[in-house]
Structure 1
Amino acid sequence: MPQKNLRVEFMAMTPDALSLIYAAFRQCYHAGFVADMWPKLLSGEVDPEVQADFVSKTMESGHDSPVEHVSFTFAIEGISRACSHQIVRHRLASYSQQSQRYVAENDMDYILPPAIAKIPEARERFEQFMGEVQSAYSDLRQILVDHGRKSKANEDARFVLPQAAETKIVMTMNCRSLHHFFHLRCCNRAQWEVRAVADAMLEICKEKLPALFTKGGARCEQLGFCPESPKFACGKYPTREKIS
């Protein structure tokens, strides 16, 4: 029943992402049919740096709906069920999560919060409880099997599993939704675990599609001020009230 650490891996993204976004933007301002320029974009006849510059400048104007044509897919492990519940609140995305109904937690992995890990007595009590949970789950599952539940035993025994139980998830988001995700979850006010997920995803996006994500992150990073009220500001940037 080991402690698990976060792992975020890139799986896939829409092919020819930069050219696709460039073409989608151009169609909004171009009298012709962008399908006719598509072969030139793919061949490099239109310099990729020109495409990237156009996309970046258009994004800065606030026009961002064309980036929905491109999506990223990530595989994530080493997060708690508590963290996954925050992630799936982002509705414009697709998720495939490890099922506690079909996957038996015979050796439950878990996530240990850093604030608990650094206090010896808190860590000891936390790990003791994880052991108690594991024992209760295993006992209940076996009792249910013995009483004929067989493969259905998992779905009832799982009711004792904690928010700390580790889970794995495959997640796909389009680029507009990713920016929104980063605005909220890279913020210093975001919960530590989901912020770590968002930071790892952002680094991947910056590497794979810099024209779109170099300036990605918490909203304050683009605005140059904190959009929160003074009550909730972390202090990294001045609030709107202080710069107006």
Structure 2
Amino acid sequence: MPEKDLRVELLSMTPNSLELLYAAFRQCYHAGFVADMWPRLINGEVDKEKQAEFVSKILESGHTSPIEHVSFTFAVEGISRACSHQVVRHRLASYSQQSQRYVTESDMDYILPPAIAKIPEARERFERFMEEVGSAYKDLREILVNAGREDKANEDARFVLPQAAETKIVITMNCRSLIHFFNLRCCQRAQWEVRKMADEMLKICKDNFPAIFRYAGASCEQLGYCPEAERFACGRYPTLKQLTAK
């Protein structure tokens, strides 16, 4: 049962994403039918820099709904079940997660929190418990199989697995949902593991679609102030109350 590291890979993004958003934004302010300009867009007859500039300008006005037409799909491994439970609370997304019911966890990988890893006695106790869990899982599964419950052994034995158990998941979000996800999960107040995952996803988004994600990140980085109450603020940015105080 080895410790597992985070890995985030981009599987897919909407083809012709810039052209699609340009067309969607243009339709909102254009009397004609954007399908008529679509061939020119995908054939490169309209300058991409001008498209990106137009999209960025409209976004600055607060008009963001058209960016929902473009989505990203990520494959993620090396996160804990504790982390995945936080991620799936973001409802405007699609998820396909590795099942503990169908995948045998006899050689379960796990996630080791950094705060535990740096304290020798804490790490030793944590790793010893992971071994105990692994042994209990194997014993229970074997007992269930021997009792004639082989096809259901995994789904019952999994009840002893910890939140530290490593999981793999495929995530699809549109750009608007991703920006909201980054607002919350790139924040210093977010739990360390989901923040690490969000930071990796944000790097990928910035590399692949800078016109949309150039300024994406924690809410404070976009607003210029911390939207949290003072008792929750990390201090990187002043709170709104501090900014407006007379």
TM-superposed deviation, 1:43:
1.7
Provide the C-alpha distance between the structure 1 equivalents of 2:194 and 2:57, rounded to a whole number of angstroms: 30
For residues 93-242 of structure 1, what are the structure 2 equivalents within 5 Å?
Answer: 93-242=93-242
TM-superposed deviation, 1:135:
0.5
For residues 46-65 of structure 1, what are the structure 2 equivalents within 5 Å?
Answer: 46-65=46-65
Amino acid in the other structure paired with 2:243: I
TM-superposed deviation, 1:151:
1.8
TM-superposed deviation, 1:40:
1.3
Runs of at least 4 residues off by over 4 Å? none
Amino acid in the other structure paired with 1:174: N
Amino acid in the other structure paired with 1:78: G
Provide the C-alpha distance between the structure 2 equivalents of 1:23 and 1:243, rounded to a whole number of angstroms: 39
Amino acid in the other structure paired with 1:124: E
Please list every run of 5 or more consecutive structure 1 residues that lacks an aligned counterpart in the other structure.
none
Pick which of 72-81 and 33-42 moved more: 33-42
Match of 1:3 in 2: 3
The C-alpha deviation readout for 1:181-234, integer Å capped at 9, x for no partner, is 000000000000000110000000001100000101001111111111111111
SS at match of 2:173: strand
SS at match of 1:66: helix
SS at match of 1:5: coil
Match of 1:73 in 2: 73
Number of residue equivalences: 244
- Structure 1 length normalisation: TM-score? 0.99
TM-superposed deviation, 1:159:
0.1
Amino acid in the other structure paired with 1:131: E
SS at match of 2:73: strand
Provide the C-alpha distance between the structure 1 equivalents of 2:102 and 2:109, rounded to a whole number of angstroms: 16
Amino acid in the other structure paired with 1:196: K
Provide the C-alpha distance between the structure 1 equivalents of 2:154 and 2:196, rounded to a whole number of angstroms: 30
Match of 1:24 in 2: 24
The C-alpha deviation readout for 1:46-78, integer Å capped at 9, x for no partner, is 110011011111111111000000000000000
Match of 1:42 in 2: 42
SS at match of 2:169: strand
TM-superposed deviation, 1:30:
0.6
CA RMSD between the two structures:
0.6
Amino acid in the other structure paired with 2:42: L
SS at match of 2:226: coil
